Amino acid sequence: MKFLFVVPPLVGHVNPTISVAAALRARGHRVAWVGHPDPVRPLLPADALLFALPPDTDPARSRAVAAAARTARGAAALKLLWEDFLVPLAHQMRPGVDAAVREFAPDVLVVDQQALAGGMVAREREIRWATFATTSADIIDPLATLPQVKRWRGNLLSGLGFPASGELSPHLVVVFSTPALIGPVDRYPGHFSFVGPSFGWSGRSDSAVPGSGRVETSSFPFAELRRPCVLVSMGTVNTAACDRFYAVVTAAIRRVQVVLVGDVAAPKNFIVRPHVPQLALLPRVDAVVCHGGHNTTCEALAHGIPLVLAPIKDDQPFIADQVIAAGAGIRVKFGRVQPDGLATAVDRVLTEPAFRAAAHRVRSSFADAGGAAAAASALEAL
> Would you list the DSSP string of 203-239?
S-TTT-EEE----------GGG--SSEEEEE--TT-G
User: pLDDT class for 147, splitting at 50, 70, 90?
Assistant: confident
pTM, rounded to two decimals? 0.88
CA dist 288 and 356 (Å) reads 11
Per-residue pLDDT, 204: 56
Per-residue pLDDT, 113: 93
What's the gap between Cα 67 and its chain centre?
A: 21
User: pLDDT class for 140, splitting at 50, 70, 90?
Assistant: confident
User: pLDDT class for 115, splitting at 50, 70, 90?
Assistant: very high
User: pLDDT class for 199, splitting at 50, 70, 90?
Assistant: confident
Peptide bond preceding 228 in cis form (omega within 30 of 0): yes
Min mean pLDDT across 15-29, 233-247, 263-277, 365-379 is at 233-247
Per-residue pLDDT, 175: 95
Alpha-helical regions (H) of 70-190: 74-79, 87-104, 116-125, 147-159, 179-182
Domains defined along the chain, listed by start:
2-175 (3.40.50.2000), 218-367 (3.40.50.2000)
For residue 142, the 8-state DSSP code is T
User: pLDDT class for 207, splitting at 50, 70, 90?
Assistant: low
CA dist 342 and 249 (Å) reads 7
| Average pLDDT of every residue of the chain | 89
Min mean pLDDT across 92-106, 187-201, 352-366, 368-382 is at 187-201
pLDDT tens digits, one per residue of 14-61 = 989 999 999 999 999 999 999 999 999 999 999 999 999 998 766 677
The answer to whether the CB of 180 falls within 8 A of the CB of 361 is yes
Between 136 and 86, whose confidence is greater?
Answer: 86
Name the strand (E) or helix (H) holding 112: strand 108-112
> Residue 342 pLDDT more than 90?
yes
Per-residue pLDDT, 378: 97
Among 249, 247, 271, 257, residue whose Cα is nearest residue 342: 249
Per-residue pLDDT, 213: 64
> Residue 319 pLDDT more than 90?
yes
Q: pLDDT > 70: what percent of the chain?
A: 89
